[in-house]
Amino acid sequence: MTELEAPTTARAPRAATAGSASLRRAAPALLGYAAVRILCLLTLAVWSAARGKSAYTLLTARWDALWYTRVAELGYGYEVRLPNGDVHSNLAFFPLLPWLERLLHAVTPLSYADAGFVVSLLASLAAAWGISAVADHVYGGRYGRRAGVCAVLLWAALPVGIVQSMAYSESLFTALAAWSLYAVLTGRWVTAGLLASAAGLTRPVGLAVVAAVWVTGVLAFARERGGARTGARAGRARRALGLALAPLGTAGYVLWVGRRTGGGLFGYLDVQAGWRNGFDGGYAFARFVADKFTAFPSALAGLGLVVGVALLIRLYVVCVRQGQPVPLLVYTGVVLALALCASSYFGSKPRLLMPAFPVLFPLALTLARLRTRTSAPVVGAVVAVAAAYGAWWLNGSGPP
């Protein structure tokens, strides 16, 4: 073995060792996450049985899950024309989840719906691991590991956290986003770009991951031009490659849809318009909230919406004041903007906000600083509410 070969052959064992150490460090967070998800699924099963419904059907064969499995089974081209003239095309659904469903169906006896459920479960664990790693990296020191555990538990116990166990793309996207952000934070630019590209093939909000990679990378180049040339030429080349890779997923799918529909660059926007989805700066959402105050019962819901949005904005401001790293602030800001300022179906907004996990970090740090005997009852109460709400929600209006 030559001297030049030694570092290359040693990379795989070092990477495996680092991965094992990361997994061991995240083990409490993953065990806690699994416990929360099992509790929520058991609650859903009991609640659904009492109402004569199948919990598994609610998780795998309703709403968007049906659209994903149809893409996996039959490909693109299916659409529904509504009486009011709207056209719901399956081109609105990005392809990575259906691709994985098709792959798993091809190599196992699982149906497409079963495959979607398995992908979601595995992706949710990967997302929990990624969230834990990011929080641990951000806070480090005395509270890093505990903050990672608390962040994961809070994410698992979101009111609409049951979506993490559905055959939806939120878990897959969050996993890719979290690990892409972690790669940026640790200087692994090519990995960050590849994961950002995959996130861009999962959901339209993949733009948030691309923006985080690009803004952080451009700032790094700007600092080097300003005199802080700390990176070697190879390091700068890897960063440039990561930036080039990041937008390929989103751009590739949007351009393909445009070519397929004949709409060019705006073809995908036309598809979304058929679903009454668009970006209006939050006007439609503000009008929706305002309409809630026209009668007393609905006014309570309107007040809850106002409080919820104010809390999100407040948490984001705290993230800024705490000095969260630039990629997290950019990513979270774009996710919040796209969710709150879109004219999409308003019942979707809670789950569209779910990937914005860094807004939970200030709360996670607060819990991490408390003694376990103080924080455990708080987390337990939040989990209990989330389990009950998720079961009630899915057996009621459910996620669109």
Q: Do 331 and 181 touch, CB atoms closer than 8 A?
A: yes
Dihedral sign from CA coordinates of 138, 139, 141, 144: negative
- Please state, rounded to an integer, the average pLDDT across all residues of the chain: 90
Q: Do 165 and 58 touch, CB atoms closer than 8 A?
A: no
Q: What is the pLDDT of residue 7?
A: 44
CA distance 277 to 284: 11
Q: Which amino acid is at 81?
A: R
Using the predicted structure, report yes or no on whether residue 8 has a pLDDT greater than 50: no
Average pLDDT over residues 293-310: 82
pLDDT in tens, 304-321: 888 888 999 999 999 999
Dihedral sign from CA coordinates of 201, 206, 207, 209: negative
Any idea where the domains of the chain sit in the sequence? 52-394
CA distance 317 to 165: 30
CA distance 146 to 142: 8
3-state secondary structure the chain: CCCCHHHHHHHHHHHHHHHHHHHHHHHHHHHHHHHHHHHHHHHHHHHHHHCCCCHHHHHHCCCHHHHHHHHHHHCCCCEEECCCCCEEEHHHCCCHHHHHHHHHHHHCCCCHHHHHHHHHHHHHHHHHHHHHHHHHHHHCCCCHHHHHHHHHHHHHCCCCHHHHHCCCCHHHHHHHHHHHHHHHHCCCHHHHHHHHHHHHCCCCCHHHHHHHHHHHHHHHHHHHHCCCCCCCHHHHHHHHHHHHHCCHHHHHHHHHHHHHHCCHHHHHHHHHHHCCCCECCCHHHHHHHHHHHHCHHHHHHHHHHHHHHHHHHHHHHHHHHCCCCHHHHHHHHHHHHHHHCECCCHHHHHHHCCCCHHHHHHHHHHHHHCCHHHHHHHHHHHHHHHHHHHHHHHCCCCCC
All residues at 6 or more sequence positions from 365 whose CB lies less than 8 Å from its CB, including other chains: 139, 143, 147, 150, 322
- Cα atoms found within 13 Å of the Cα of residue 50, Cβ hemisphere only: 9
Q: How confident is the model at residue 4 (pLDDT cuts 50, 70, 90)?
A: very low
CA distance 16 to 323: 32
Q: What is the pLDDT of residue 84?
A: 87
Using the predicted structure, report yes or no on whether residue 303 has a pLDDT greater than 90: no
Please give the structure tokens belonging to residue 85: 């003239």
pLDDT in tens, 53-99: 999 999 999 899 999 999 999 999 999 998 888 899 999 999 999 99
pLDDT in tens, 130-177: 999 999 999 988 899 999 999 999 999 999 999 999 999 999 999 999
Q: What is the pLDDT of residue 15?
A: 61
Q: How confident is the model at residue 17 (pLDDT cuts 50, 70, 90)?
A: confident
Q: What is the pLDDT of residue 6?
A: 39
Please give the structure tokens belonging to residue 44: 């859903």
User: 63, 191, 39, 32: which is closest to 125 by C-alpha?
Assistant: 32
Q: Do 334 and 196 touch, CB atoms closer than 8 A?
A: no
Q: How confident is the model at residue 19 (pLDDT cuts 50, 70, 90)?
A: confident
pLDDT in tens, 220-240: 999 887 655 555 777 899 999
Q: Which amino acid is at 384?
A: A
Q: What is the pLDDT of residue 286?
A: 82
What percentage of the chain carries pLDDT values higher than 90? 72
Q: What is the pLDDT of residue 293?
A: 83
Between 50 and 14, where is the model more confident? 50
All residues at 6 or more sequence positions from 11 whose CB lies less than 8 Å from its CB, including other chains: none
Q: What is the pLDDT of residue 5?
A: 38
Using the predicted structure, report yes or no on whether residue 347 has a pLDDT greater than 80: no
Q: What is the pLDDT of residue 128?
A: 98
C-alpha distance from residue 194 to each of 129, 169, 184, 308, 373 (Å): 18, 18, 11, 34, 42
Average the pLDDT over each of 17-26, 71-80, 171-180, 376-385 and give the range with the smallest value: 17-26
Average pLDDT over residues 187-196: 97
Q: Which amino acid is at 97?
A: L
The set of long-range contacts for 100-107, using a CB threshold of 8 Å and a minimum separation of 24, is 100/172, 101/68, 101/69, 101/72, 101/167, 102/72, 102/73, 105/72
Q: How confident is the model at residue 9 (pLDDT cuts 50, 70, 90)?
A: very low
Give the position of tokens 């000095």. Answer: 323
Q: What is the pLDDT of residue 399?
A: 76
Using the predicted structure, report yes or no on whether residue 125 has a pLDDT greater than 70: yes
Give the position of tokens 């990624």. Answer: 130
